[in-house]
Structures are given as structure tokens and as C-alpha cells.
Chain A
């Protein structure tokens, strides 16, 4: 009896379209008006690489990241289906790779043959896991879900929205270094023209992890050696480059099922092996080379901890979102996915370039000239899949009972050389007007002076009361002095740090690390 399932490729295509649509749906509804109760974190929570990376750095599987267990178990039994069935980046790569259809069959077969370079992704995985085992989470740089999320949020969607006016971002944001993110993303997509699924086959650390998990999967692509004529048509659209024409490689195969459809003899099926099914190949890696990579990676984290970055030095201009963990813990959890930047209503949240050191690349920071932290908004914590930004209630954020202290992001300081009432005898006090705390952190002292023309002028000269200031940055954002504002927030006084402080008495005693 013939057990080939002619429908499997179509089923995969339906799933792929569904998950791609779901990905965009969750991305587009992720804002204050449309988010409702949808779990916009879903794709990141399903990601086993994010889960394992975070587990290694912080010994905990945070909230929804338990969903990644489902992916691990399914992969153990069925193989690395995630890459062509669910992964938004994988599916986009596949769609871009369709261009290869124009080539001659022999060229396509050549492009889809297995290559030794596919081993590279296991090295990428090992580097990230070794660094994570030491306590540094950098998987977000190349994790496909984090990468595609970040690319969409800070480069592709704002650009598409700007050109087409779709209203995805009501406030038409600009993003810090969005171009760099876009170039990386475009490079990933265009690499498909050089080698189909270049990213998935060669670079992707999540693909590598799922490949390892697929090694012993029960079900697989089985080739009947008696029926197979060796025509290699199965390679025409093979996504993984997994050699269904010879000894199949379960760790490379995405179960795209294209080979089943292309086989003229019906020699291939997905399922259990039958009598006469060809052998499979184990994971292809060079043990010594991989070990060398692992040993080489061991030095990375200690070097990171002896480089100037936000984890080793308090950076005055690095202001983290409300509810962010201490910088040390933040670095153990943030995967640079930019989900917080998607939901931020004022777009004050921006991807850092080197403001937090190399370690902090693409982590969220506030740039108050771009926006400010909305007093009653807690969306960034809600969108964060890893808990780098805690989920706060509004009460906790603003310090309403039962909470005693508000969450402080930093402290505002006047630049009296630029401030209109201080330096130029011009009335202003916009900062005091917009200050959201009650009582206001910005107050003024009326003063009557004689101006240049000899007239008596009464001015209100503003001050910051540092124990009331929460560092939200609205004063800096709204300051009428263009360019460099006359009041600016720096990170000192932020609630999350026990060292980055200036006042003796405001902060209740917290354990110090030294």
C-alpha cells in the first residue's frame, strides 16, 4: 500500500500562511487601542532558544515561556518542522527563495544539495549557549524571532506605514539606527538569492537547536531504495538541503514536504521507516572544531564583564523602561526583540546602538526628545516576553497605595544656561505645567528682576525636587528650547539600581551588591 500523503505540502503551506498571518496580526494589533487581551508575545514565548538562553542566564522559565516546552516536545517526535511551518523569518525566506524557480532544474538541484557550510549554525548556537551559561544573554542578536520582530518594529513597519499610510503607528515614529536593523534584515532576505534559505541552513541558531532536538525524531522522510531511480527531482525545491535523495539528514530537514510532491516514483513518504527505507544521517558536525568554538567562547563573557558597558558602569544617558530589572539582570533577560518599542505610545523607547556598550546593542532605552514615558502607561512590561521589563500595574508604577514609592527612571536636571527664565529673563514654566506627579516635582520661585531695558520683570524660575521626580522625561520632551533641551533626564536615581543614586534618604534601604 502506498502511504505517501499527497496533501502534506498543502497542509504545510496552509500552516505557513496561517502562522505568517498570525505573526503580522499580533504585530499590528500590538498597541494601546487594539491590543485587547491578545498575547502579542506568543511567537517569542514559543521560541525554545530564547527559553534556554534565559534559563541558562537566570535559572528560571519566566511566565509564558513555558510554551516553548511544547515546541521542544513536538520537535523531539516530529522533527524541525518549526522552520518552514511556523517561523515567520523562515517562511519569508522561503517566499523570497521562490525566485530560484526560474533556474534550470540541474541548477536548482545543485543549490539544494547539502554543503559543509551548514555546520556553521551549530557553532553560532554553541557561542550563544556558552556565553549564556556564564550569564550573558546575546541570543537575541541572531535568534530569528527576535530578529524578525525587531526588524519589523523598528525598520520595515514604520517605513511601510510611512509610505502607505496604513495607520499601524498612529504617531509616525522614527527609530534610532533603524537603518542598520533594516540592512541586516534585507541581507538575510537577499541571501536567499545566493543560496536558498541561506539564513536557515547556515546561520540560524534556533534552527541549529531544533536540528539537535530532531536528531532522534520518530517520524521522518523515508526513501524507498527500490522505487527510487536517483532522478534527484526531490531536490528541486528542498528547503533544508537535507538530502532526501540519499541518506536523509533529519537535523537539516524542515519537513517542507516539497520532495514528496516532486518524486515521480512515489518513493518518498513522511512517517515511520518501512522495509527498504534508506538509512538516515546523524548530525553533521566536526567534534573538535565545535569544541574549539565552545572553548573559545568561554573567554567572551569575562571579557564582556571587563568592558565598559551599562552592566559594568552606570551610564548617565542610558534610561531604561519602567519596571526594568537591575542592569545586570536586564542583560540576563533582554533579547533585543523590540516588542516594548512596538507598544510604546510615544515611541520614547528606542533601540540603543552603543549607548549601553556593545553588550546593550538594540536593547530599549528612552530618548526623551523622541517621546516621554506616559505616566499611566505600563504596556512595555506587558509586551516584554522575558521579564527584562517587569509587568507593572499602574498603581505600582506611579506609587499609589499600597505601593509607597513610584518607579523612577532617573532624575531631571536644569541647564540654567539654556533655561528661558533662568538665562534670558523670558517667562516659560512649560516643564512645570506638564510635570505629571502630584505634587509636581518641578516647582518655581517667583523673582522680580530688572531686565536689560530697565523694566521690572517678574519671572518664575523652575527647580526640580529630586525626591519627587520620576524621570519620565516629559519636561525634556516638551521643553521649548530646541536642540538640547534646558531640562534633561539622566539615569541617576533610577529605582532599579542600588548604586546609581545621589540622595541619602529618599530610597528605602535595599541590599547592596558592593
Chain B
């Protein structure tokens, strides 16, 4: 059988390997070995996982220089939101003082909850739209609207009317996703490095658009508290020291301008509300360059006194503004 097989199957023999071929073979393997060993040494390390160093950013100061010619705060009463916003900004020197041609502007309304405008748990959409149009008129290169919502963000932006209003005013809406946060050093007493919505690192100017609301833990949620919305992560831990957290946030985010929505005010069951019985019309818009004074002023709508709200005195101590707004240059007007 073996003999048969030998006949039927051609026997293949390796071509004889000359010295030259042998050297080439060994040389190639030696080369490969060198690459393996060199690569191994190059990649060798004491760190189990190679990471790109995470860059920790800091927020820039978005404020414009102070100007004594204009009041620090402008309170406007009226019926039409856009008229009130224009009047309030005009009193502070006009938007050209704050927004320059080509600026990328970020509007930060409160879009925390899946609530409709009349429930007053979110900033009113007319205010957001009016501010966006003003920025466009001032020559802003881009106007963004963003917030980090507590309820489902898609529903919050849709049902608050803010998404539609912003888009209609040619602003862009950014609903931050998981990847939209950058490690940022807040430099605070309790707030150190936290994930911050990346838009805050990409724009030139930031305008705070809060709404006056009752809040169960801090007493009120006004302009300084509105900065919770820059943070991602487990920000509900901030409740463990809410007053220091609010001051830390206000110290880290210094906006160009703040325009407070006191058209509808959520007087009870804040910050979520839900019943129209909790809401009362105050028909007021307030523009301010001093968040402490603004928040202190707005306590009137909630029947609170500054002494009841610890973060106000703490913020004043930190040099963020004045609790006694009565001492400041304030304008108060009525428009139709």
C-alpha cells in the first residue's frame, strides 16, 4: 500500500535552502523579534491602562466692564414680554453694551421640568425668544439655548415651549447628552471638579434667564440657583449643602447679563409646581448685573426676607453682589 501511495501522490520536497536564504529567513525573524521586543519595551509601563490626561478646564468670566452711567438693575412692569425685555435691556445701556458683533451667545433659561408655560416651573418661552431676537439684532454670530433638565430633557424643551420659541427666533437649541460634559474646576468651597455642559466653554457671552420660584429646600430658586443647570453628574448631592453650593456656582459662573422672568411666579410647591393655583401673575421683567441684588429684590414676590435665605449673605461676603438692593442705582418703569 505504501508503495502504491508513493506512486500516486507526487512527493514534494522543499527547495534546498542555501546559506543566503537561511540568512534572509533568520534575519527577517530577528527583525520581527526586534520589533516585538522594542514595541514591548516601548509599550511597557507601570500604569495598567494608558489614559489621555483629562484636561480640567475653568470657566471664563463672561462679564463686561462696569459702567456707572447706567443703573445696575432695571425693573419693568407691563403686559407684553418682548416690550418689557427690550425696555429693561435698554435701561441698562442697550444690548450693544453686552453683545458685540460676532459674539457667540448662550442663553440659559430654566428648563428643568416637564411643565407647560402657564405652570411657571420653567422660564417663559416669550422671554427666551425675545432675548434671542435681541442678540441677533446686536449681531451675535450664534445664539444657543441650553439647560440640564431634571425631567426628560426632550419633553422639558418641547413642553416648556422653549425649543419652539428658540428655533423660531433663529436660535439653536442644545439638549446636552452624556458626552456633552467637560471636567471643570469650579474652584468652590464644596464644588471642586464637576462635569460642566461643554457649551459654556465654547461661547463668548452667557445670559442667565431664570424665573422666580418657590423652592422647598433653599426657600427660593432665582438667578444664582439657576446655575445648577450647568452641571451634569450627581448634582442632587449639592442638596447636602445647598447654600454653599449655590454661592460656589454663582462665583464660578459670572454671566454677562441676567434677565429675570417674574411674569408668572410660582408661589408654592416649588420648584415643580404643577397646579395653576400655585401661580400668580406679577407681569414683571428684571434685567440685572448684580445677581445678589436681583435675587434679594425678587424675594418680595415670595413673601420672604433676605435673612431667611442664607445664601444671599454668604454671596455678599464672597463679593458677588449686594443684598441691600435699595442702596443701588435701580430703575423701575412701566410699559404698556
Binding site for B on A (CB under 8 A): 55, 57-63, 65-66, 68-69, 72-73, 76-77, 216-218, 225, 229-231, 247, 272-273, 275-280, 325, 329, 332-333, 386-388, 390, 499, 501-505, 508-514
B333 to nearest A CB, angstroms? Answer: 42
Q: By the criterion CB–CB under 8 Å, are B237 and A502 in contact? A: yes
Please, which residues of chain A bring their CB within 8 A of the CB of B45?
60-63
The answer to whether A218 touches B11, judged by C-beta atoms less than 8 angstroms apart, is: no
B309 within 8 A of A: no
Pairwise interchain contact B11-A501, C-beta atoms closer than 8 A: no
| Interchain CB contact under 8 A, A218 and B26 | yes
B141 at interface by CB-CB < 8 Å:
no
Some 8 contacts from A to B, beta carbons below 8 A apart, are: A58-B50, A61-B44, A69-B41, A73-B36, A216-B28, A273-B16, A505-B241, A511-B54
Pick from B16, B43, B54 the residue with the most CB of A within 10 Å.
B43
Residues of B near A504 (CB, < 8 A) are 190, 237-238, 240-241, 245
Cβ contacts under 8 Å, A69 to chain B: 36-37, 40-41
User: Is A511 within 8 A of B183, CB to CB?
Assistant: yes
User: Is B181's beta carbon under 8 Å from chain A?
Assistant: yes
Q: Which residues of B contact A61 (CB under 8 A)?
A: 40, 43-45
Contact A273 B233 (CB under 8 A): no
Known A69-B40, A325-B48; further 10 A-B contacts with Cβ < 8 A: A60-B44, A66-B44, A73-B36, A218-B22, A225-B13, A278-B13, A333-B49, A386-B48, A387-B47, A502-B237
Interface size range of chain B in the complex: 35 or more
User: Closest Cβ of chain A: how far from B331's Cβ, in Å?
Assistant: 39
Are the C-beta atoms of B48 and A73 separated by less than 8 Å?
no
B25 within 8 A of A: yes
Look across to chain A and name the residue whose beta carbon is closest to the beta carbon of B32: A76
Interface residues of B in 168-210 (CB under 8 A from A): 178-181, 183, 185, 190, 192-195
B residues near A60, Cβ cutoff 8 Å: 43-45, 47-50
Report the nearest B residue to A68, measured CB to CB: B40
B33 contacts the other chain (Cβ, under 8 Å)?
Answer: yes
Pick the contact of A76: B33, B50, B194 (CB < 8 A).
Answer: B33
Determine the residue in chain B with the shortest Cβ distance to A51. Answer: B40
Is the CB–CB distance between B237 and A501 below 8 Å?
Answer: yes
| Residues 229 to 276 of chain B near chain A (Cβ within 8 Å) | 232-234, 237-238, 240-241, 245
User: Bound state CA distance, A279 and B14, in angstroms?
Assistant: 5
> Is A278's CB under 8 angstroms from B36's CB?
no
Question: Which B residue sits closest to A276, measured CB to CB?
Answer: B13
B64 at the interface (CB under 8 A from A): no
Main secondary structure on chain A at its contact with chain B? Answer: loop
Nearest-neighbour CB distance to chain A for B305, whole angstroms, equals: 27
User: Does B46 make an interface contact (CB < 8 A)?
Assistant: yes
Residues of A close to B66: CB separation below 8 A: none
Residue of A nearest to B188 (CB): A509
Distance A503 CA – B237 CA, assembled complex (angstroms): 6
* Residues B1-59 near A (CB distance < 8 A): 2, 5-6, 11-14, 16-17, 22, 25-26, 28-29, 32-33, 36-37, 40-41, 43-50, 54, 56
A272 / chain B contacts, CB cutoff of 8 Å: 17, 22
A-facing mask of B140-165, CB < 8 A → 1, else 0? 00000000000000000000000000
**Least Cβ distance of B325 to chain A in Å?**
30
Contact B16 A275 (CB under 8 A): yes
Q: CA of A235 to CA of B46 in the docked complex: distance in angstroms?
A: 46
Q: How far is the CA of A72 from the CA of B241 in the complex (A)?
A: 57
**Which of B16, B43, B232 lies in contact with A55, CB distance below 8 A?**
B43
With beta carbons under 8 angstroms apart, the residue of A58, A230, A512 that contacts B195 is A512
| Chain B residues, CB < 8 A from A72 | 33, 36
The answer to whether B12 touches A66 (Cβ under 8 A) is no
Q: Is the CB of A280 within 8 A of B237?
A: no
Contact A73 B25 (CB under 8 A): no
Which residue in A62, A276, A499, A502 is a CB contact (below 8 Å) of B48? A62
Which one, A73, A273, A511, A514, contacts B193 given CB within 8 A? A511
Cβ–Cβ < 8 Å partners of B240 in chain A? 503-505
Judge whether A499 and B234 touch: CB under 8 Å.
yes
Asked whether, in the complex, the Cβ of A512 is within 8 Å of the Cβ of B232, the reply is yes
Q: Is the CB of A66 within 8 A of B237?
A: no
Nearest chain-A residue to B47 (Cβ)? A60
Point out the residue from A58, A231, A505, A514 that lies within 8 Å of B179, measured CB to CB.
A514
Contact, CB under 8 Å: A332 / B234: no
Interface residue from A218, A230, A387, A512 paired with B25 (Cβ < 8 Å): A218
CB distance from B50 to the nearest CB of A (A): 4
Which single residue of chain A is at the shortest CB-CB distance from B22? A272
Taking a contact as CB atoms under 8 Å apart, the answer to whether B241 and A512 are in contact is: no
A373 to chain B, nearest CB (A): 20
Partner pick for A505 among B13, B41, B190, CB 8 A cutoff: B190
CB distance from B52 to the nearest CB of A (A): 10
Q: How far is the CA of A58 from the CA of B5 in the complex (A)?
A: 53
Within 8 A of A (CB), among B100-158: none
Which residues of B have CB within 8 Å of A333?
48-49
A65: which B residues are within 8 A, CB to CB?
Answer: 44
| B242 shortest CB reach to chain A, Å | 10
**A230 in complex: contacting residue of B2, B50, B192, B245, CB < 8 Å:** B2
Residue of A nearest to B179 (CB): A514
Query: Which one, A73, A216, A277, contacts B37 given CB within 8 A?
Result: A73
With the chains together, A509 CA to B16 CA distance in Å?
Answer: 68
Name A58's closest neighbour in chain B (CB-CB).
Answer: B49
Q: Is the CB of B16 within 8 A of A218?
A: no
Distance between B238 CB and nearest chain A CB, rounded to angstroms: 6
Known: A76-B33, A276-B13, A508-B192. A325 touches B179 (CB 8 A): no
Complex CA–CA separation, A216 to B16 (angstroms): 16
C-alpha spacing A8/B16, complex, angstroms: 25
Q: Is the CB of B194 within 8 A of A512?
A: yes
Tell whether, in the assembled complex, residue B232 and residue A514 are in contact, meaning their CB atoms are under 8 Å apart: yes
Residues of A contacting B48 with CB < 8 Å?
58, 60, 62, 325, 329, 333, 386-388, 390
Q: Top 7 closest A-B pairs, CB basis?
A: A509-B192, A387-B48, A509-B193, A511-B54, A230-B2, A58-B49, A511-B183
A76 in contact with B56 (CB, 8 Å): no
* Min CB gap B39→A, angstroms: 8
Contact between B245 and A509 (Cβ–Cβ < 8 Å)? Answer: no
Q: Report the Cα distance A70→B33, complex, angstroms.
A: 9
Tell me whether A218 and B2 are in contact in the complex, defined as CB-CB below 8 angstroms, given that A501-B234, A512-B195, A514-B232 are known contacts: no
Which residue of chain A lies nearest to B29 when distances are taken between CB atoms in the complex? A76
